[in-house]
Chains A and B, each alone.
Chain A
Amino acid sequence: MAALVVPTHRQPPAIYRAARALRWASSLVLVLLIIYAGTVAYSAVEVAHSSVQSRSLSASFAPNGTVEVGGSFTLSNPGLYPVDGVTLTARIANGAGVLLGKLAVGPNDIAPSSTGVFPFDLYLPVSASGPATSLLTEDQYLGVNAWGNATYAYLFPISVSLTETRSWGAPFEGFQATVGTPSGGGGTVTIPITVTFSNHAGSPDTGTIAFVIESPGFVECGGGSFVINVPSGGFYDQTQNVALSPGCNPSGGQVLSTYLSSGGSTPLPPEAIP
């Protein structure tokens, strides 16, 4: 007699099914992580190849006795993941280590396959009372310390620090306001004053240098002005005679000069009169 056994469907044990499902989940996560890590590495190499570029860097006189260094830098992100929270902080000190100014940029995000442009303005105080007066008349090397932070591909925080020295070209390098020997007699006494300097800055010196001749007792003996238009790299050397006030002897006094431009007025270092 034929026998037919109808099989009963047998399920794997519940614990075994759970373990198998977990192994599959684990394998899936591992594959996704490997794909993610691979694409992150590829994108990071792409970003590294498109290095940071600075452009349109310029320096100009600004109000309140400052020199404005403005510009922008660009960071390309040709990769597949965003660069989030890009911040940059920079501090600039003179050769003696005195802090002249600092700037902060960001935070900004750079989407994948795009370029971030980060404009910045740095104001360096060059007034007579500021720490950076020498920037007007002395070429020097400035210490630049910069720090940048960002997060790449959501999970990778990156920080960059940079220390370097940059040469600074003074707009009135070697500035001198030299007083000559008084001449004349009777009612009018004149004295020649010669202004010399070199423009080592990247932009022209355009405007007026106004000066006042003071006696040792801070009495104004006379004054005048030079109209200047000195291109970058140019040299200036001009003399003019100034009529002194009757009875005013400038010997032992000083010449106070001020640069007047569209950016405002900037005091130049005083020159002693022998």
Chain B
Amino acid sequence: MSSPGRVVVPKQEAGAYRVPSLGYRILVAALRLIPSFFLLVALPVAVLAFVNSQGVAIPISTNAVIVWGFLLLGLGTARSILKPTRAYGPLSVATSLVSILYLLYLIALSPYRLVVPGGSASIAAGYSMFLELAMIVPAIGLVAGLLITIEDARAPTERLPFDYPA
């Protein structure tokens, strides 16, 4: 209930926003790095190392996984830190494009051919269909990034009250 003489204006509807400090955004991005690092680098490298230790040839080098993983981590972190800026949209597009390229690189390695130790049997497992399906995720992200880029070009700070309501 408003008291006489006071103006009640919902902050968001008035367009007010409060962008977190750079230090805070770096802290949040660093915290987000932990699960991302586990998913994109640590887990794949651990699985590949375990398979390799069993005498089974692996389809991709661990170095490639590390390079692609850190590239995506770097882009994702920069995107998170720069979310309040106009670089957010282009960085989202770049992250999605690199993700698509990574998936295309993995598709090129399919099928995975495994020769059972002893050489009497071989197994080929195709996973390209799954990766093609997984490309939906960065493809949607790419479109979203383009829309944000357009929005920021049209009205640079218009989205900030909704991203960072005061």
CB atoms of A159 and B123 under 8 A apart: yes
Q: Which residues of A contact B14 (CB under 8 A)?
A: 7
* A163 part of interface (Cβ distance < 8 Å): yes
Chain B residue at minimum C-beta to C-beta distance from A5: B7
Report the separation of the CA atoms of residues A7 and B15 in the bound assembly, to the nearest whole angstrom: 11
* A19 part of interface (Cβ distance < 8 Å): yes
Report the separation of the CA atoms of residues A157 and B124 in the bound assembly, to the nearest whole angstrom: 8
Report the separation of the CA atoms of residues A18 and B7 in the bound assembly, to the nearest whole angstrom: 32
Segment of B20-28, B59-67, B146-154 in the binding face? B146-154
Segment of A26-34, A64-72, A122-130 in the binding face? A26-34
Q: What DSSP secondary structure best describes chain A's contact surface?
A: mixed
Query: Looking at B15, B124, B129, B137, which has the most chain A CB atoms within 10 Å of its CB?
Result: B137
Chain A residue at minimum C-beta to C-beta distance from B138: A26
Chain B residues 1-20 with CB under 8 Å of chain A are: 2, 4-10, 12-15
* A156 part of interface (Cβ distance < 8 Å): yes
Q: Which residues of A contact B155 (CB under 8 A)?
A: 13
How many residues does chain A have at the interface if contact means C-beta atoms less than 8 Å apart? 33
Q: Which residues of A contact B141 (CB under 8 A)?
A: 22-23, 26
Chain A residue at minimum C-beta to C-beta distance from B96: A26
Chain A residues 1-56 with CB under 8 Å of chain B are: 2-5, 7-10, 12-13, 15-16, 18-20, 22-23, 25-26, 29-30, 33, 37
Q: Which residues of A contact B74 (CB under 8 A)?
A: none
Mark A153-178 against chain B: 1 for CB-CB distance below 8 A, else 0: 00111111111100000000000000
CB atoms of B126 and A156 under 8 A apart: yes
Q: What DSSP secondary structure best describes chain B's contact surface?
A: mixed
CB atoms of A156 and B137 under 8 A apart: no
* B108 part of interface (Cβ distance < 8 Å): no
Instruction: Return the contact of B130 from the options A7, A26, A37 (Cβ within 8 A).
Output: A37
Chain B residues 100-137 with CB under 8 Å of chain A are: 111, 120-127, 129-130, 133-134, 136-137
Q: Which residues of B contact A29 (CB under 8 A)?
A: 136-137, 140
Report the separation of the CA atoms of residues A249 and B29 in the bound assembly, to the nearest whole angstrom: 104
CB distance from A39 to the nearest CB of B (A): 12
A residues sitting closer than 8 Å to B (CB atoms) are 2-5, 7-10, 12-13, 15-16, 18-20, 22-23, 25-26, 29-30, 33, 37, 155-164
B residues sitting closer than 8 Å to A (CB atoms) are 2, 4-10, 12-15, 111, 120-127, 129-130, 133-134, 136-138, 140-141, 143-145, 147-148, 150-151, 154-155, 158-159, 162
Q: List 19 A-B contacts (CB under 8 A).
A: A2-B5, A5-B8, A7-B9, A8-B13, A13-B158, A13-B159, A16-B147, A19-B151, A22-B141, A25-B140, A26-B138, A29-B136, A33-B137, A156-B129, A158-B126, A160-B122, A161-B121, A163-B120, A163-B121
Beyond A22-B140, A33-B133, 4 additional pairs, beta carbon < 8 A: A7-B8, A16-B159, A18-B147, A158-B125
